[in-house]
Amino acid sequence: MTRLGLEGRVALVTGATRGLGLATARKLCASGCRVYLNYAHSEDDARAAVDSLAGLPGTATALRTDVARPEGVQEAIRQVAEEHGALDVFVHNTSALRPMPATGLDLDAFRAGLEVSLLPLLSAAPALAGAMAEGTGRIVAVSSTGAGRVVPGYAALGLAKAALESFVRYLAVELAARGIAVNAVSTAKLDKGDDTLRPEAVQALAARTPAGRLTVPADVADAIALLCTDEAAWIHGQVLTVDGGLGLRA
């Protein structure tokens, strides 16, 4: 395992009991972090997620809060910071996809999706400014290529992700002087190993990807961990695309 110099650091990952969130928690835990896995609903999923990280160099603790509520995400940050003195890493991973075209946006559904995708980081910002460790503080938001490119049916979430990337830049400027780096990672369709993608869709996307396969959650988790290292301290307000080169295709 590659050593990243993250041993002993405290991380809070939202939406961390499955998919990309769990892959991120696993990478940070494997790097020696004390990781808090945020979740909102399923106790069974939370227990299974924590159990799956047993035996790694770091520690894993489930933390139930609804980060879509401003008081929920703020309380989670305060709780972790009070227990450890400071928070080193905050990964914002929550989102909700409700397919709809730009000419047929369901405004209620759009607002609900925006609250899940954007508001947790907006609400967390004041608490993070006071809780994060100077010098080692890292905030990483998970975005998608749909923020800058048109994906059929992706209008609602694409708008939310574009707003998220804009907020990352504003937050990065305000927190840089405190030694806190704020960035985002962006990716295309993920192969999560389930049946949400048709086999022919997987083959078509893999054929278009220069690296020869679809992106998997672990690929993105690796990039998130790299942004949390000391060597990434001078990277501020950037969006790192992790897609195996898929976005380079015309």
* H/E segment holding residue 219: helix 217-227
For 7, phi and psi rounded to 5 degrees?
A: -60, 130
Cα–Cα distance measured from residue 220 to residue 106, given in angstroms and rounded to the nearest whole number: 30
Q: What is the pTM of this model?
A: 0.95
Q: Which of 97, 74, 77 is nearest to 87 (CA)?
A: 77
**Average pLDDT of adjacent 10-residue blocks, the chain of 250 residues:** 88 96 98 96 95 97 92 94 96 90 90 89 95 95 94 91 96 97 95 76 88 95 98 98 93
* H/E segment holding residue 106: none
For 183, phi and psi rounded to 5 degrees?
A: -145, 175
Q: Using alpha carbons only, how large is the chain's radius of gyration in Å?
A: 17
The domains located in the chain, with CATH, are: 10-239 (3.40.50.720)
What digits encode the pLDDT tens for the residues 112-142?
A: 888 889 999 999 999 999 999 899 999 999 9
Asked if 12 and 89 touch (Cβ cutoff 8 Å), the reply is yes
Residues belonging to the active site: 154, 161
**What percent helix, strand, coil does the chain show, rounded to 5?**
45, 15, 35
Cα–Cα distance measured from residue 241 to residue 210, given in angstroms and rounded to the nearest whole number: 14
How many residues comprise the chain? 250
